[in-house]
C-alpha cells in the first residue's frame, strides 16, 4: 500500500513545485509576498522529496547506496519537517505585520533546526544495523525517542497551521471562495497530520505499557493518514493563489472577527 500512496503524493508535490516555480519565474520582478511564494515552493519540493524517499523501492535503494540502514527514513523525516516549517513560514508572511514577519520566521526556523539536530543525534545513537526507526522496532528505546521527537514537531507545526489556515479561511470565505477552499484543504491536511501523530504516538505509549494494537493496523492507518495529509496540503497550497494583504495597523487575524481579510490577486503584484 505504501508504494502507490507515496507515488501519488510524490507526483502531486512535483506538479505543485513545477507550477509554482514557473509562477515565481514569471513574477520574478515582483516584490509582494515573495517570502510566502518561496516558502510554498520549498514546502512542495521538500514534501515531494520526503514522499519519494518513503516509497519502499526508493528507500531500499537509498539505504543500499549509502550503506546505512534507515538513512532514507531519516532524510524523509527531515524533509517532511522542512515542509511543515515552510508552510508555517508561508502563513507567517500572510498573517503577521511586516515588522513581525522576521521574528516569527526566525522562531519557527529555530524550532525546526533544533528538531532536525535532535533527530540526527538520536539517529546516530541508534544501532541501525539491528533496527530501523519505525514502529516495527518500538521495543528499542532509541527508536521510540526518535519517533516521539519527530511526532512532537509535526504535532506542533500541524496544530499551528490548522489554526491559522482555518481562521484565514473563515475570514476569506465571502471574498475569495477558491482561496478559502484552499485554506480549508490545508487545514484538513494538517489536521490529518496531527491525527497521525496522535495515532502513532498512542501506539508507542501502548507498546510501552504492554497493550499495543496490531502493528499491521498501525502501519496501514499511518500510511492512509499521511497520504491524506500530503494530498490535502498539495491541493490546498495549489488553490490558495491569492495572498492576504495586511491592513496598515492590524493583522488579518486580528481584524477577521469584525472585517473580512482583504485578499490581493497573487503573491506578487501584477
- Give the pLDDT confidence score for residue 38 in this predicted structure: 86
pLDDT of residue 28: 64
Would you say residue 266 lies in a domain?
no
Is 165 inside any structural domain?
Answer: yes
247: Cα separation from own chain's centroid: 28
More confident: 98 or 268: 98
Question: Which residues pair with residue 226 across a beta bridge?
Answer: none
- Enclosing H/E stretch for 53: helix 34-54
158 vs 98, residue with greater confidence:
158
Q: What is the reported pLDDT for 261?
A: 41
Q: How far apart are CA 77 and CA 46, in angstroms?
A: 10
Structural domain containing residue 214: 2-246
Would you say residue 249 has pLDDT above 60? no
pLDDT of residue 251: 42
- Domain containing 235 — which CATH number? 1.20.1070
CA distance 86 to 116: 14
pLDDT category of residue 6 using cuts at 50, 70 and 90: confident
| Residue 235 to residue 237: CA distance in whole angstroms | 6
pLDDT in tens, 166-222: 998 888 777 667 788 889 999 999 999 999 999 999 999 999 998 899 999 999 999
pLDDT of 117 over the 70 cut: yes
What are 4's three cell numbers? 502507490
Give the C-alpha distances (Å, rounded to integers) separating 256 from 178, 261, 263. 18, 6, 12
Say if 30 falls within a structural domain.
yes
User: Would residue 261 count as lying in a domain?
Assistant: no
Proportion of the chain above pLDDT 70, given as a percent? 84
Q: How confident is the model at residue 266 (pLDDT cuts 50, 70, 90)?
A: very low
Q: Tell me, what's the pLDDT at 14?
A: 82
- Structure confidence by residue, pLDDT tens digits, 70-111: 899 999 999 999 999 999 999 998 888 888 889 999 999 999
Q: How many helices (H) and strands (E) does the chain have?
A: 9, 0
Judge whether 256 lies within some domain: no
Residue 119 in any domain: the answer is: yes
pTM (two decimals): 0.85
71-95 and 177-208 are packed helices; what angle lies between their axes, rounded to 10 degrees?
Answer: 140
What is the average pLDDT score of the chain? Answer: 83
* Number of domains forming the structure of the chain: 1
Highest mean pLDDT, choosing among 31-40, 126-135, 195-204 = 195-204
The pLDDT of residue 257? 37
Amino acid at each position: 500500500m505504501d508504494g502507490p500512496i507515496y507515488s501519488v503524493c510524490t507526483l502531486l508535490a512535483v506538479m505543485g513545485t513545477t507550477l509554482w516555480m514557473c509562477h515565481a519565474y514569471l513574477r520574478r520582478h515582483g516584490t509582494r509576498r515573495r517570502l510566502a511564494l518561496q516558502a510554498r515552493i520549498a514546502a512542495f519540493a521538500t514534501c515531494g522529496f520526503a514522499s519519494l524517499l518513503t516509497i519502499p523501492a526508493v528507500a531500499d535503494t537509498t539505504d543500499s547506496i549509502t550503506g546505512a540502514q534507515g538513512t532514507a527514513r531519516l532524510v524523509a523525516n527531515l524533509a517532511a519537517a522542512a515542509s511543515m516549517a515552510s508552510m508555517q513560514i508561508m502563513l507567517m508572511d500572510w498573517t503577521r505585520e511586516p515588522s513581525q514577519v522576521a521574528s516569527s520566521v526566525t522562531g519557527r526556523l529555530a524550532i525546526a533546526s533544533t528538531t532536525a539536530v535532535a533527530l540526527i543525534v538520536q539517529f546516530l545513537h541508534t544501532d541501525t544495523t539491528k533496527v530501523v526507526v519505525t514502529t516495527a522496532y518500538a521495543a528499542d528505546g532509541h527508536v521510540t525517542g526518535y519517533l516521539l521527537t519527530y511526532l512532537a514537531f509535526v504535532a506542533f507545526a500541524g496544530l499551528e497551521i490548522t489554526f491559522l489556515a482555518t481562521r484565514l479561511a473563515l475570514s476569506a470565505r465571502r471574498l475569495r471562495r477558491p482561496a478559502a477552499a484552499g485554506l480549508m484543504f490545508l487545514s484538513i491536511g494538517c489536521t490529518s497530520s496531527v491525527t497521525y501523530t496522535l495515532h502513532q504516538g498512542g501506539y508507542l505509549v501502548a507498546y510501552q505499557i504492554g497493550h499495543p494494537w496490531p502493528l499491521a493496523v498501525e502501519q496501514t492507518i499511518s500510511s492512509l493518514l499521511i497520504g491524506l495529509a500530503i494530498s490535502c496540503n498539495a491541493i490546498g497550497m495549489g488553490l490558495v493563489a491569492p495572498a492576504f494583504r495586511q491592513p496598515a495597523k492590524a493583522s488579518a487575524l486580528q481584524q477577521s472577527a469584525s472585517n473580512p481579510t482583504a485578499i490581493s490577486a497573487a503573491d506578487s503584484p501584477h
